[in-house]
Amino acid sequence: MARVCYRAAIAAALAYGEGMNTAFDLHRFKFLEALHLLLPADPDSEKTANEKLSGFGRQGIKVNLRYAHHEKKEVMSKKVH
């Protein structure tokens, strides 16, 4: 019984990891905007920036980060009658 539960837990963890990877891939530019970081111009600069950011987050490696304060988007409000 323990083996079946263990295998089920591993399968669930793998599925969760796939979901997290997909969510990050879909929203990676919103993530960079939320951190006030410059958006990459091409895939190569994105990879380089992600390696630096990962090193900073994982190991506290100091990197030069350039902040970009994006313009705030106007929110449409609905009037309730």
How confident is the prediction along the chain (81 residues), in pLDDT tens digits per residue? 999 999 999 999 999 999 999 998 999 999 899 889 889 999 999 998 888 888 888 877 888 778 888 676 555 445 555
pLDDT value, residue 80: 53
pLDDT value, residue 8: 97
pLDDT value, residue 79: 55
* Residues sharing a CB contact under 8 Å with residue 39, sequence separation 6 or more, in sequence order: 29, 32, 33, 68
Tell me, yes or no, if the pTM score tops 0.85: no
Q: Distance between alpha carbon 50 and the CA centroid of its chain, in Å?
A: 10
- The structure tokens listed for 47 are 């990879």
- The structure tokens listed for 9 are 């837990």
CA gap 69, 7 in Å, rounded: 46
Q: Where are the domains of the chain?
A: 1-28, 35-66
- The structure tokens listed for 26 are 């879909």
